[in-house]
Each structure stands twice: as structure tokens, then as C-alpha cells.
Structure 1
Amino acid sequence: MKIAITGITGFVGKNVQDYLKTSHEIIPMSVRYEFNQKFEINTDALIHLAGKAHDLKKISVPKDYFDANYELTKQLFDAFLESESVDFIYFSSVKSVADNVKDILLEDVNPEPKSPYGQSKLQAERYILSKEISENKRVFIIRPCMIHGPGNKGNLNLLYNLVKKRIPYPLSAFKNQRSFLGIDNLNFMIKEILENKNVASGVYNFADDEVLSTSDLVQIISSVLDKKNLSVAIPKSIINGIAKIGDTIKLPLNSEVLQKLTENYRVSNQKIKLAIGVDKLPNTTQQGLEKTIKSFISKR
């Protein structure tokens, strides 16, 4: 199978390419949004990963997100519809539908994205779903949760450095539950979708099977580093007070950081597992996280 991949220089793109190239021909596709441009799709499948991710420095304007995540996707999808290509896989995000999750996130949730990032991803989803698809084509919208894997530090790096420097994790009083997605499980599910033609078009959440608390994550990091877990359970009222102070003066802990570290964000992966015919994904969340953390050590 000949597969085009956009965003191939990114963390997910590199990993998907390496995973699929042993059995398929991979065609890197360099794309960026330009007004009124046309694309030609000459492959059996297109995996669209390119886009604009969260801007942690908060210097981007909404138009940047909508150009990269909606307008570019629209151009690529229109080209796919006019081509002989059979499969289109669009990487959206769980943030396209929910910034906060009270129960367990399912695919049919009523979308309420708060950020330009999530809103631009949702607009792209809606455009894709509004089009009539011919019987010989399949279209997949993938909503991954927080992705982890060797080489992708993200928020894990903050906790890793905390444990490595022997700084006690102060938030163990918060017993949150959140879903993660190991890159190996992501690769496995993408390959299954491409090779199993019985998998129907649709929207699919991507997540590992298990949920973990941030305190669990600190314990895993401590174990991999062979260090004693120094977590402490400072009362929530005190932590919340410090976070509010951090909103007005520059502190490492503010309300946004506190929410990211302690919120519940459970994502169901039952729909994709049923579609590809598996009861469990190949790797547990702990296995994936241990592999990620070991990669931090080897590069230092």
C-alpha cells in the first residue's frame, strides 16, 4: 500500500512512518496552508497529521489555528474526494470536543471546545462529516488523548525533573484519573485500520486501556529512576490558594497548571477496539510510560 503522511517530521509522524514503512511505501507530504491552493493525492491512503498544536506561550492568534487545522484540512480532504485514494485518516484531538471530562469521554459527546485549537479541530471534523463519501472510500477522524513515547517529553518532562531533582510532588492529595496514549498503541491501531478493510469509516477515540492519576505517574517515574517517591499530600485548600496567588504573580503553580496536573480526563477506547477486533491493546499505559521515561535517561 502506498501511504502519504503529512506532518511526518513531527513526533507522531516520525513514529507512524517508522512503524508502517516495513510493510508499506511511505510518501512524505510537506504541506502548509496557502489561499486557494490545490493538492493532488496519488496514494492509496492519506494520513493527515500536519496542523497547529497548542501554543503554550500563548502568542498565536485564532486565525493561525483555523488556517492550519481547518482550511488546510479542507483543501486536503477536497483533493482526497477527487482522487482515486481510498483511505483518509485525519488526526483531530479529544480537545476538539471537551476541555474537561466529568465522566468518560465517548465519541458521541456534545462538543464544547473552549480554545481556538479545539474549535479549529472541530470545524475540520464537521467539514469532513458533511461530505458524501463514495462507497469505495473510507474516512476516519481520530481523536487521540495525551500521547507519550520516547522523544516526546511534553508535560512528562516537568514531573521527570521534579523526581530527578528530589523535589517532593506536593499534589498527591488530588486523586485524579486520566487517560494516556502510548505511541506504540497508536501505531498499532493505525496499522489495523489501514489493513483491515472491515473497519468502518467514523470517529474514533484513541487511548490506552488503563487510566492513571498524576500521583501514579510520579510513582512510575520514581521507580524507573530507582528513587524513593517523595510525594506529599498538602491539603487541597492550601494548594488552591497558592494557585490563585500564582495567577497574579509569576509562580510555577497557577490555576491552569494545577488543573492540568489534577483534572480527571478519562477517554473510552471501546469503539476502536471493537472495530479492529481486540479486547486489549498491545501495551499497558505503565509499559509505555516506562519506555518513555527510560528514553529521557538515555539522552542525558
Structure 2
Amino acid sequence: MKASKVLITGVSGFIGEALVFRLLVDKKFIPVAAARRATKFQGLCPVVSLDLNAPEAFPAFDDVSVVIHAAARVHVMNETASDALSEFRKVNVDGTLHLAKKAAESGVKRFIFISSIKVNGESTPPGKPFLADDVPAPMDPYGVSKREAEDALKQLGSETGMEVVIVRPPLVYGPGVKANFLSMLRWLSRGVPLPLGAIHNQRSLVALENLVDFIVTCINHPDAANETFLVSDGYDLSTTQLLRQLAAALGKKCRLLPIPQRCIIIVATLLKQKAVAQRICGSLQVDINKAHELLGWVPPVSIELAMRRTVDHYQDKQTK
């Protein structure tokens, strides 16, 4: 039986790249790597040029049965655009909808949209995780743009019959992780004392391997059609616990000062960094029971193993 083609956008990014490699290894589907420029996948699988800002030049979706849309204008800590929401909408809403319309017109059966937990909101009370079917409450332009894209895709799906699957991950980590997670690895590796030894929040994370495994499950599982899912490692950590686990994996002494959370927030507020402190000290939990009950999915990689692999990759890079 001929393998189905799965077109993946954002293949130069953290998630998209991992998806292509996973499908190349599995050999159950033929990945089609879509990017604005030539990629490392030339010669390994079909590669097509795709610019979300140029829908008139979208490639033909010949024999593609599923699209996994991982490309996006991503959330940034220090936004510089004067109208951030407008900039996010250009790619995350307009570009996504143009792509989905082309997919539907080409006979694509399923469109898997990699959204964000920010559609649900920014935080949860401890012990009260977000649910997949909660009423969305995005708080920033990035989250708003992802929610608008979700709504537009659902409407398109109802009009065309193309199945739409929405996946909202929290913070994604794994080998090659960047941004704040990479900063934490650097601080811990250098033995920098951190005032985070008394943080009693609860945060859901998702290892890249687990996220990719879930997305691949959604490619052809019949019960994934037209559903929204939250995904995580299934195990939550406080910021303090996370730092201690990473330090142990690094083989470094964890130098955490037990500064009360309220003091951290007060100081951060004075320094106009209240939002950063709230992310460090606040809780954000997700409930993945829907993924388990509907799809029978459980995270295949433990959080301990995923962190070990993340740290090993980081240390390997430091020695080269």
C-alpha cells in the first residue's frame, strides 16, 4: 500500500524539523517539507517552497492527504512592533487560512494546526488545570491570533468537510531547545545562584518527542477529527523542582536561594518585570485526559528521560 503524503510547514523550526525526521524514520507516511528557503531535507524527502505571506505562489498539494501546520509568527518576550496583533494576524491568521483554503481545494483530508496553550490563557489556579474544551481566554496578541486562526479553521472545516485537528502545547523542550529553557541550562551549568528555591507553583511541560508522537497519532486516528487537544508530559513540576532536575542531569550543584515568591514579584514589579515573575512563579497546568480517552494516547517518554536527553544534547554542543 502506497504511503500517504503529509505536508509539514515550519520545517526550519523546532517542532516542524522534528516532525519531518520522525516521519522519515517511521516510513509510514511520506513527509513533504515546506519552507520559504531550501532546507536540510533536500534529497531526503520532497521539498516545496512555501511563503505564508505569498498565497498566490503556494505550491500544488499533489497527493497530499494531511497538512501539519507548524509555521507561525511566534511569541516573543520583547515585542517591538507598534501593532503586534496586526503583525501576528498576517501570518498566524491570514497565512494559515490561505493555506487551509488551498488545502481544502486540493482535496486534503485533514489539517492539523499546532496552536498554543496561550489560547486557553496565561495561568491556572493550582490543581485546576486547563481543559481542552474550556472557553478560550487568550491574554496577549500571540494567543489572540492563535485563537482567531482556530475559529477560522473550524468554520472552513464545517464549510468544506476538511477535518481540522487543533493541538495546544504548553512550553516545549528537548534537544536543541532555545529561548528561556536554554537560558536556564546556561545559568545552572555555570553555577549561577538563583532566587528560585521556594517556588511552589505547578507547570505543565511537553517534551518534543512526546509532542511529535501525539501529532503523528493525530495524522490518521479517526477520533481526532475536528477535535481540540491539550498535550503535556502528564507530570507537572514547580519551577524549583524543574531547576533541581535539570541541575542533577547536568551534574551540577543546584544553587537556589529560598526567596519567598511574594518578594520576587514585588522586586520584579519595581523593575517593570512583573509579567516575567508571574510566569516564573505562577501555575499553568493542562489536563490531557481527553487525548488519552479519545485516542488512547499516553506520553511515551518520561520527563526524566526527556530532560536527560535535552541536557546531553546541550553538553555535547558545549564541547564542540
TM-score, with normalisation over the residues of structure 2?
A: 0.86
Asked if 1:287 is matched to 2:305, the reply is yes
Deviations 1:218-241 (A, max 9, x none): 111211121222212113343233
Distance (whole Å) between structure 1 residues aligned to residue 51 and residue 261 of structure 2: 45
Distance (whole Å) between structure 2 residues aligned to residue 49 and residue 168 of structure 1: 36
What is aligned with 1:44? Answer: 65
Matches within 5 A, 1:157-168: 157-168=182-193
1:2 corresponds to which of 1, 5, 15? 5
Checking the alignment, whether the CA contact within 8 Å between 1:148 and 1:292 is kept in structure 2 is yes
Checking the alignment, whether the CA contact within 8 Å between 1:148 and 1:181 is kept in structure 2 is yes
What is aligned with 1:25? Answer: 30
User: How far is the alpha carbon of 1:135 from its aligned partner?
Assistant: 9.4
What is aligned with 2:316? Answer: 298
The number of equivalent residue pairs is 293
Gaps of at least 5 residues in structure 1 are 248-253
Detail structure 1 runs of 4+ shifted over 6 Å in the superposition: none
Checking the alignment, whether the CA contact within 8 Å between 2:55 and 2:95 is kept in structure 1 is no
Matches within 5 A, 1:48-59: 48-59=69-80
SS at match of 1:21: helix
Gaps of at least 5 residues in structure 2 are 36-49
How has the CA–CA distance of structure 1 residues 265 and 131 changed in structure 2, closer, same or farther, with 3 Å as cutoff? same
SS at match of 1:147: strand
User: How far is the alpha carbon of 1:206 from its aligned partner?
Assistant: 1.6
Matches within 5 A, 1:1-300: 1-22=4-25, 23=27, 24-30=29-35, 31-34=50-53, 37=56, 39=58, 40-42=60-62, 43-60=64-81, 61-102=84-125, 103-133=128-158, 137-247=162-272, 254-278=273-297, 280-300=298-318
| AA in 1 matched with 2:179 | G
| AA in 2 matched with 1:108 | D
Distance (whole Å) between structure 1 residues aligned to residue 276 and residue 117 of structure 2: 19
Distance (whole Å) between structure 1 residues aligned to residue 208 and residue 117 of structure 2: 16
Distance (whole Å) between structure 2 residues aligned to residue 106 and residue 282 of structure 1: 21
What is aligned with 2:43? Answer: none
User: How far is the alpha carbon of 1:169 from its aligned partner?
Assistant: 2.3
Could you tell me the percent identity over the aligned residues?
A: 26
Checking the alignment, whether the CA contact within 8 Å between 2:118 and 2:143 is kept in structure 1 is yes
User: How far is the alpha carbon of 1:36 from its aligned partner?
Assistant: 6.3
Greater shift in the superposed pair: 177-186 or 156-165: 156-165
User: How far is the alpha carbon of 1:132 from its aligned partner?
Assistant: 4.5
Distance (whole Å) between structure 2 residues aligned to residue 83 and residue 133 of structure 1: 16
Greater shift in the superposed pair: 125-134 or 71-80: 125-134
Checking the alignment, whether the CA contact within 8 Å between 2:52 and 2:99 is kept in structure 1 is no
